[in-house]
Each structure stands twice: as C-alpha cells, then as structure tokens.
Amino acid sequence: MPFDLREIASIAGMPGLYRIVAPTRSGIIVESLAETPVRSVAQARNRVSILHEISMYTNDEESTVPLEDIFDRVRSQYGDTLPVTAKSSNPELAKFMETVLPDYDQDRVYASDMKKLVQWYTLVSKFVPYTEVNEEAPAKEEAKAEKTEDSQEEAPAKEPKAKKAAAKK
C-alpha cells in the first residue's frame, strides 16, 4: 500500500481531507491537507471516516475494493494528473471509473462517490507521500528470515555445564 491512508480522514461537515494529529478528551486534533495546513479539533459528535477503512462496491455481492487499492490503480494508470475533475459530467466520471475499476457496481456506486474519489485522490497525491513498492524487497526479507531460522536450527544446542557439587561428609 504505497499511500498510507491510516491517518487521513474525511470529516462530515468539513470540506477537504485531514491528517489525524492526536486524540483529545472530546475528539481529535486534525490538520488540513492544504498548502498552508490549519489545525482544528473535530468533536466527538462529528462523523469521521478514515480513508483506510473505505471501500467501493464491485459486482461481486461479497466483495469490495479498498480505497488504497483504487488509488494505486489510478496512480499506475494516470499518475498525478487525472483526465477528470470533481466537476466533470456523470458519463465522464463513469468512463473514468470503468478504466480504474472495471467491475464496480454501477447501482451502488453513485456519481457523488466518484466525485469524492477524484477529489480525494487529487489531495492525497499532492500531500501524502507515495512510497514505491519494491517486489524484490519482501522476497529478500523472507529469504533472510528463513536463512536465520535454518542457522538457528542447525547450530547444536549447547547444554549448560553442570556445576560440580562438592559433597560434604
């Protein structure tokens, strides 16, 4: 997951996206994702949605695709510049969605959801660092871990030397 969305939130009634900074007794401290970030407090009564927990419906009744995966697909196809904006027409947004997520559920994914996706991707790609996924790194780490486990198994276990007890008569 190249975009780390675990600390990025959307707050009902507040425009844009926010980075979660710290908890408070009555809510959370958030910082806006903007050129000049502004800190504020989101009260407990506000509905806060963490982007990491959001998914989109697909045609498979029991399957959804996490927003992180969709953002990865968008980045791999379009990079930082999208062919649509949040003000694009509904048919243009639908065509965009078909290129990114061909099996999205057209009955349950609304145009407003597509507009949010475009807005959020634009903000996230601008203000959240993207980490490249290296396919070889996990394989190397697994091989290294296996090698370490093998060397531990092969090494003979040294038994502690028994202390000689002096027998007193």
Q: Which two tokens stand for residue 78?
A: 């379009």
- Predicted local confidence at residue 111, as pLDDT: 93
Rounded-to-integer distance, Cα 76 and Cα 84, Å: 16
Count CB-CB contacts under 10 A for residue 111: 14
Residues 6+ apart with CB under 8 A from 125: 3, 71, 75, 80
Q: Which two tokens stand for residue 138?
A: 């996990």
Which stretches of the chain drop beneath a pLDDT of 70? 1, 132-169
Helix %, strand %, coil % for the chain, to 5? 35, 20, 45
Rounded-to-integer distance, Cα 135 and Cα 7, Å: 25
- Under DSSP, the state recorded for 53 is G
Q: Which two tokens stand for residue 63?
A: 């399957």
39: β partners: 31
Instruction: Give all domains of the chain, ordered by start, each with its CATH number.
Output: 8-51 (2.30.30), 54-127 (1.10.10.1650)
Rounded-to-integer distance, Cα 19 and Cα 32, Å: 6
| pTM for the whole structure | 0.73
